[in-house]
Homo-oligomer: A and B are copies of this chain.
Amino acid sequence: MKPVNVGVLGFGTVGGGTYDVLTRNASEIARRAGRGIRITHVATRSPDKVQQRLQGQVSLTADPFAVVNDPKVDIVVELIGGNDPALELVKTAIDNNKHVVTANKALIALHGNEIFAAASRQGVMVAFEAAVGGGIPVIKAIREGLAGNRINWLAGIINGTGNFILTEMRDKGRSFAEVLAEAQALGYAEADPTFDVEGIDAAHKLAILGSIAYGIPLQFDKVYTEGISHLTGDDVSYAEQLGYRIKHLGIARRVAQGIELRVHPTLIPEKRLIANVDGVMNAVLVQADALGPTLYYGAGAGAEPTASAVVADLVDVTRTLTADPENRVPHLAFQADALSNTPVLEMDEVETAYYLRLQAVDEPGVLADVTRILGDQQISIEAIIQKQAAKGADSIPVIIVTHRVVEKQMNAAIEQIEALQTITDKICRIRLETLSRD
């Protein structure tokens, strides 16, 4: 069979990696796919620089629209990132009856509904394995491997930069700011780290995971998003003393009232496998009704890990080139006409356990006031630990671990506790999940 022609938009880290993998492993890939998959057209901002790197007959252009309008291109790989001009390019490719493979989580999270609708009308596929968890085939696992299950919840370490920072804070007792500066120097974190450390990147990915787990349209705007920049070394250390680790998790959960979609720092028991996923690695833990827990671990970023997912998508799409569009794996795991309108819950309505750190004056009766307020809100306490005051400090840290409670009750309790005269500072509140089976 004649080779499949691929056009690539963007020849940065992942674009170069995709070219390298397709070239180096051309024979293994063709042995699997049954035909060759070759890059024939590349759009890049600096064609001259890329020129020396490419072998064989690859057209180079500075105009990405030349690629999506190239009649010889069968599949377009979009690796530009962001929304503009990526969205217009992808839509043009679809209008031109080309399949699309993308690593662009922001594009899918924000415009996936519109893109998939257009793709379905044209009978083409838009594949996006590389958008979540880098090279880990977690989209495939959830969409296909778990197709017989109702998914109860999933929890993922889906931003490597954040996990690197938290791992260093724990292992070396360093501050957030210090580790962030190092991550930037190492190239793990962008010059503007907001997307990573404030959870926006993770929220893009969680919106995608939530949709394929529950068959709901993409709703990035409904994802509760909290970053890790406010975490202190003390909290990391107290968590450890209590047998927990703090991970920045994206969590999707189905409850009776709807679906939770939330990204926030989370205490999890240190004995869980996912608590031991360190450094820049990613992992997604999925709890499904028939299968129980499964975990998918690997590199969440990087040139060739991400390229691995892009190439896997290229092979999948190659296999469906002659297939009946109705029998392909649906974009969001469920058939487009079978998506559900189950609501995404407000964070107020979410139930979790909590770690609270209070700064209190060291005098009798303070704990009585705090525990009374928690009791009034039906919040039951699992542990209270009163720490030593730091030298010369006018207050002592009090750590409270609670059982599960609806967040609005916790908010009410926190407001009342912070109003106490004996509480000297804002409360640090970190959510806690046991990640046990139910």
Q: Is A347 an interface residue (CB 8 A)?
A: no
Chain B residue with the shortest CB-CB distance to A143: B32
- Taking a contact as CB atoms under 8 Å apart, the answer to whether A294 and B297 are in contact is yes
Q: Is A191 an interface residue (CB 8 A)?
A: no
Q: Which residues of B contact A222 (CB under 8 A)?
A: none
Q: Which residues of B contact A149 (CB under 8 A)?
A: 21, 25, 28, 308
Chain B residue with the shortest CB-CB distance to A271: B276
Q: Which residues of B contact A320 (CB under 8 A)?
A: 327
A29 to B333, CA, bound (A): 10
Chain B: minimal CB distance from A113 (Å) = 17
Chain B: minimal CB distance from A29 (Å) = 6
Known: A31-B215, A150-B28, A308-B288. A144 touches B315 (CB 8 A): yes
A145 to B134, CA, bound (A): 12
Q: Which residues of B contact A335 (CB under 8 A)?
A: 31-32, 34
A287-326 near B? 1/0 per residue, CB < 8 Å: 0111111111111001011011111101110111111101
Q: Is A343 an interface residue (CB 8 A)?
A: no
Q: Which residues of B contact A146 (CB under 8 A)?
A: 137, 308, 312
Chain B residue with the shortest CB-CB distance to A148: B311
Chain B residue with the shortest CB-CB distance to A321: B327
Known: A136-B294, A335-B31, A335-B32. A308 touches B148 (CB 8 A): yes
Q: Which residues of B contact A144 (CB under 8 A)?
A: 137, 140, 312, 315-316
Number of copies: 2
Q: Which residues of B contact A384 (CB under 8 A)?
A: none
- Taking a contact as CB atoms under 8 Å apart, the answer to whether A148 and B315 are in contact is yes
- Taking a contact as CB atoms under 8 Å apart, the answer to whether B28 and A315 are in contact is no
Chain B residue with the shortest CB-CB distance to A295: B297
Q: Which residues of B contact A273 (CB under 8 A)?
A: 273, 276-277, 297
A30 to B140, CA, bound (A): 18
Q: List 18 A-B contacts (CB under 8 A).
A: A21-B290, A34-B326, A135-B294, A140-B145, A141-B296, A146-B308, A147-B316, A148-B310, A148-B312, A288-B308, A290-B308, A290-B311, A291-B305, A292-B298, A292-B305, A296-B297, A319-B327, A322-B323
Supplied contacts A32-B215, A292-B304, 9 more A-B pairs, CB within 8 Å: A24-B289, A28-B150, A29-B148, A32-B335, A34-B335, A135-B294, A145-B309, A148-B308, A148-B314
Please list the 5 inter-chain residue pairs (A to B) with the smallest Cβ-Cβ separation, ordered nearest first.
A137-B145, A148-B311, A294-B298, A31-B338, A291-B308
